[in-house]
Amino acid sequence: MSFGAGMDTGGGDKKPPRRPLIPVNVRVFHDAVTQHSGGDDIEVFGAAARVVEILGNARDVEHDGLAIHWTLDDFTGSVRCKMYLEESDTTGRDKVNEILKNGK
DSSP 32-93: HHHH--SSS-EEETTEEES-EE---EEEEEEE-SSEEEEEEE-SS-EEEEEEEPPTT-HHHH
Give the residue-averaged pLDDT of 94-98.
Answer: 71
Q: What are phi and psi of 94, to 5 degrees?
A: -65, -40
At 11-57, the pLDDT tens digits run 556 665 666 788 889 999 889 888 887 777 788 888 888 788 888 98
Closest to 42 measured CA to CA, from 14, 4, 15: 15
Per-residue pLDDT at 89:
66
